[in-house]
Amino acid sequence: MAKKIVVIPGDGIGEEITASAVRVLQRIDEKFRIGMVFEKHDAGGTAYDLYGTPLPQETIDAARVSDGVLFGAVGGDKWDAVAPALRPERAILGLRKNLGLYANLRPVKVADALTEYSPLKPELVRGVDLVIVRELIGGIYFGEKCESEMQDGHERAWDLENYSVPEVERISKLAFETARLRRGRVTSVDKANVLATSRLWRRTVTKVAAGYNDVELNHLYVDNCAMQLAVRPTQFDVIVTGNLFGDILSDEAAVIGGSIGMMPSASIGANTSLYEPIHGSAPDIAGKGIANPIGTILSAAMLLRYSLHEDEAAKAVEDACDKALTDGYRTADLWKDGFTKANTTEMTEIIIKRI
Ligand code: IPM
Ligand code: MN
């Protein structure tokens, strides 16, 4: 049976980078005969301009019955003045919630060829291989909020954070399962010295850990974890944390890897999953054809692995990306003297030739 892949380019460079990843998947299909079909749908500011909503119902419906969703990026200054409930970001938040994408996996692996691009010293980043498992549909992102109210003559706003035991259990189990297939170490990150939600988080993760004797668990406060990522990032294997902390730490971890343009992610749900690069829509370079497509191409590799269970095909994509880099090709974000500059289309072709 055909595998239906829903492609949602979104805004900015989203169109260019998802087109690249689809071309790579088409090449994979020729070779591995998976039988993928691609269906494009709108979301983000582009959808808002067309339909008055950043997340049309038909996009949600198509994604829900798909075998996997490939997502580009949303947002841009063009929509800065749009009401909060209609902002482009609501498209990705709405997809996560509607599809029940409870876990976001963000691997950070530093290829030897790229250690020099890290803002950290090469000897600190050599060998970094970690994955952040971020809770994605709970916490302060989705709690009750108030944009504006008056109290004692002053305007105020608030966002409520809550986590339930089942929510924390579900994400913890995935983190322990993930660690089992890696180096068997989980670091749970919270702010249990201050927040009640964090204390429940820590209790629950500790309870779940009892079922995974083969995995080692330690706990870090989020401020310390942020520091440890900069000081000794090789200490981490799997980091599990809540929605807001995971958002912040994953950007920090991504930049350690050199270019945020290279980092993929998978958002896992019970029925379908969504794959997207962790970078944004980069409106400043949109349409110029110079964006780095590798983050999206590696996200497509994660789609092959986690949604289609095509491990060999996923590996072929990852190896081809590695090969393109070791062969000296670089997009503008990584280019320097001595390397061959490639635009988005060229880089895509270079990768495809190596599959
Ligand atoms: C991310 C992004 C989103 C988030 C934004 C666009 C809502 O920063 O995927 O990390 O905060 O989750
Ligand atoms: Mn983010």
Ligand 1 pocket at CB < 6 A: 89, 92-93, 247
Mean pLDDT of 142-171: 98
In the prediction, which pLDDT does 313 show?
Answer: 98
CATH 3.40.718.10 fits 107-259, yes or no: yes
In the prediction, which pLDDT does 211 show?
Answer: 98
- Alpha carbon nearest to ligand 1 atom 6, residue: 89
Q: Are strands 3-10 and 238-241 parallel, antiparallel or unpaired?
A: unpaired
In the prediction, which pLDDT does 1 show?
Answer: 86
Reported as a single tens digit per residue, the pLDDT across 110-144 is 887 788 889 999 999 999 999 999 999 999 999 99
Q: 10 Å Cβ neighbour count for 187?
A: 22
Task: Verify whether residue 4 is a known catalytic residue.
Answer: no
Atom of ligand 1 nearest to the CA of 265: 9
Two tokens, residue 338:
């001595």
Q: How far is CA 181 from CA 127, 143, 250, 297, in A?
A: 17, 33, 21, 23
Helix axes 344-353, 311-326, angle to 10 degrees: 120
- Rg, C-alpha atoms of the chain: 20
**Ligand positioned closest to the Cα atom of 44:** 1
Atom of ligand 1 nearest to the CA of 96: 12
Q: Provide the residue ranges of all domains of the chain, joining segments of one domain with +.
A: 1-100+270-355, 107-259
pLDDT at position 238 over 90: yes
Give which of 249, 238, 234 is closest to 209, Cα–Cα: 238
Mean pLDDT of 256-261: 84
Mean pLDDT of 289-315: 97
Active-site choice (49, 129, 159, 251):
251
Instruction: Give the span between the Cα atoms of 28 and 120, in whole angstroms.
Output: 35
pLDDT at position 258 over 90: no
139 Cα–ligand 2 center, Å: 15
In the prediction, which pLDDT does 182 show?
Answer: 96
In the prediction, which pLDDT does 116 show?
Answer: 87
Per CATH, 1-100+270-355 and 107-259 having the same topology is answered yes
Express as a percent the part of the chain with pLDDT over 90: 95
Q: Are strands 103-109 and 129-135 parallel, antiparallel or unpaired?
A: antiparallel
135 Cα–ligand 2 center, Å: 12
Reported as a single tens digit per residue, the pLDDT across 241-250 is 999 999 999 9
**Ion ligand 2 residue ranges (Cβ < 5 Å):** 247
265 in Cβ contact with 304 (< 8 Å): no
76 Cα–ligand 2 center, Å: 14
**Ligand positioned closest to the Cα atom of 89:** 1
252 Cα–ligand 2 center, Å: 10
Task: Verify whether residue 29 is a known catalytic residue.
Answer: no
Reported as a single tens digit per residue, the pLDDT across 92-112 is 999 999 999 999 999 999 887
Two tokens, residue 333:
């974000």
**Ligand positioned closest to the Cα atom of 96:** 1
- Alpha carbon nearest to ligand 1 atom 7, residue: 89
Mean pLDDT of all residues in the chain? 96
Reported as a single tens digit per residue, the pLDDT across 69-93 is 999 999 999 999 999 999 999 999 9
Instruction: Give the span between the Cα atoms of 109 and 105, in whole angstroms.
Output: 13
In the prediction, which pLDDT does 257 show?
Answer: 82
**Of all helices (H) and strands (E), which one includes residue 45?**
helix 45-51
**Of all helices (H) and strands (E), which one includes residue 298?**
helix 294-302
pLDDT at position 30 over 90: yes
Give which of 22, 100, 20, 87 is closest to 60, Cα–Cα: 100
95 in Cβ contact with 101 (< 8 Å): yes
**Of all helices (H) and strands (E), which one includes residue 266?**
strand 264-268
pLDDT at position 315 over 80: yes
Give which of 290, 275, 262, 276 is closest to 13, Cα–Cα: 290
Express as a percent the part of the chain with pLDDT over 70: 100
Q: 10 Å Cβ neighbour count for 318?
A: 18
Mean pLDDT of 267-271: 96
For the 1-100+270-355 domain, the top CATH level (class) is alpha beta
Active-site choice (48, 102, 117, 141):
141
